């Protein structure tokens, strides 16, 4: 007698190859369009499914998990970050949580370097001139930025992505500095030619570029607050491809407008899609719509991780990428 297939609900459209494989392996419910599920739709999905496959746009909080049906046994997140899921409540309810770590490291690090270059070399301003049709030709003093070679890069969060950023920055001739919850092993630090700072304040005050590469946790919320942003040099820039909540966005906007910080490159925002409108008006800011992981290869690899986690669970084993509260 054949085994009953798991009921899997996917909250957003995924790459076609991933959806096809999910359909082959499980009794899957896919989205007809790519709009986020409403809270009511999420609740209904969690009552009917054995496995929920959410994304970062889905807030899976304690009330939703508490109201979930008895069938729900796994939340297989499509993404590495799980700050939108109440992992502790899920564990209390006997619901496992998994994620997709590691597959987006290079893509996000590439985007971090792209933002550093875009801000320091004033690329958006140059594009705006060309699109306006007002370019009068090359001029010796027009749109002068600064070279990145020789600049000090301060990386806040030296995990997989932070280290990948460090390797790229070294190739561009930047001096790598970092602050992390735990200092790297000596051999890793030496390989990256990275200088460790125990004091974040001291590092921030000395850097030419700050790169945010740490997760969003209660301890990192507004880690770059108004006071710490005020420590940055006036000619320094800050980029963030990690989590928007790490920076006090209103304080950053005020300082950029006042010229207290030279520029910023942001791929993530404190309030998701609700971006400070004054931030959009600034010429010294590069804004991207959360594109750090937006490569076809990366998104398919994320899906493959989801598939492995669900299939391993279905076979009676612990998902290889299970997340537990002590990891957060």
Nearest Cα to Cα of residue 193 among 165, 167, 162, 213: 167
Cα 240 to chain centroid, rounded: 8
Q: What is the mean pLDDT of the chain?
A: 95
Name the residue with tokens 């937006």.
Answer: 294
Nearest Cα to Cα of residue 307 among 2, 1, 15: 15
Name the residue with tokens 């493959």.
Answer: 304
Q: In this structure, what token pair is assigned to residue 309?
A: 């986690």
Q: What's the mean pLDDT in 43-56?
A: 96
Given a cut of 70, whether residue 328 has pLDDT beyond it is no
Nearest Cα to Cα of residue 62 among 44, 89, 40: 89
pLDDT band at 272 (very low <50, low <70, confident <90, very high): confident
Q: What's the mean pLDDT in 265-272?
A: 95
Residue 327 is predicted with a pLDDT of 66
Given a cut of 90, whether residue 3 has pLDDT beyond it is no
Q: Which contiguous run of DSSP H or E holds residue 202?
A: helix 200-204
Residue 166 is predicted with a pLDDT of 98
Given a cut of 60, whether residue 211 has pLDDT beyond it is yes
Residue 1 is predicted with a pLDDT of 47
Q: In this structure, what token pair is assigned to residue 272?
A: 């998701």
Cα 328 to chain centroid, rounded: 15
The pLDDT tens digits for 223-237 are 999 999 999 999 999
Residue 40 is predicted with a pLDDT of 96
Which whole-number Å values give the CA distances from 173 to 63, 147, 231, 264, 309, in the listed order?
Answer: 50, 10, 24, 20, 40
* Beta carbons within 8 Å of 95's beta carbon, 6+ residues apart: 65, 68, 72, 73, 74, 75
Nearest Cα to Cα of residue 115 among 69, 65, 168: 168
Q: How far apart are CA 205 and CA 14, in angstroms?
A: 42
Cβ contact 129:186 at 8 Å: no
Helix, strand, coil share (%) of the chain residues, nearest 5: 40, 15, 45
The pLDDT tens digits for 159-202 are 999 999 999 999 999 999 999 999 999 999 999 999 999 999 99
Report which of residues 143 and 328 the model is more confident about.
Answer: 143
pLDDT band at 2 (very low <50, low <70, confident <90, very high): low
């Amino acid at each position: 007698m054949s085994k009953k297939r798991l009921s899997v609900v996917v909250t957003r459209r995924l790459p076609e190859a991933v959806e096809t494989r999910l359909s082959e392996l499980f009794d899957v419910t896919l989205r007809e369009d790519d709009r986020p599920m409403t809270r009511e739709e999420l609740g209904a999905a969690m009552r009917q499914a054995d496995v929920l496959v959410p994304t970062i746009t889905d807030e899976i909080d304690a009330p939703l998990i508490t109201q979930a049906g008895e069938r729900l046994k796994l939340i297989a997140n499509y993404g590495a970050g799980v700050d939108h899921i109440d992992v502790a409540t899920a564990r209390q309810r006997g619901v496992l949580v998994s994620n997709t770590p590691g597959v987006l490291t290079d893509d996000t690090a590439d985007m971090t370097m792209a933002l550093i270059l875009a801000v320091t070399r004033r690329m958006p301003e140059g594009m705006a001139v060309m699109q306006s049709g007002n370019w009068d030709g090359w001029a010796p003093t027009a749109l002068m930025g600064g070279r990145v070679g020789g600049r000090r890069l301060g990386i806040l969060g030296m995990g997989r992505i932070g280290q990948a950023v460090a390797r790229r920055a070294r190739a561009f001739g930047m001096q790598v500095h970092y602050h992390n919850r735990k200092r790297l092993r000596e051999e890793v630090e030496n390989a990256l030619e990275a200088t460790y700072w125990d004091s974040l304040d001291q590092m921030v005050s000395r850097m030419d570029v700050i790169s945010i590469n740490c997760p969003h946790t209660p301890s990192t919320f507004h880690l770059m607050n108004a006071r710490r942003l005020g420590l940055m040099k006036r000619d320094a820039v800050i980029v963030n491809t990690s989590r928007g909540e790490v920076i006090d966005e209103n304080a950053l906007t005020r300082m950029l407008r006042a010229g207290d910080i030279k520029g910023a490159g942001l791929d993530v925002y404190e309030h998701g899609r609700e971006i400070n409108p004054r931030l959009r008006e600034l010429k010294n800011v590069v804004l991207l719509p959360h594109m750090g992981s937006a490569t076809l290869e990366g998104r398919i690899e994320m899906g493959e991780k989801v598939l492995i986690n669900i299939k391993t669970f279905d076979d009676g084993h612990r998902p290889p990428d299970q997340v537990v509260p002590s990891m957060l």
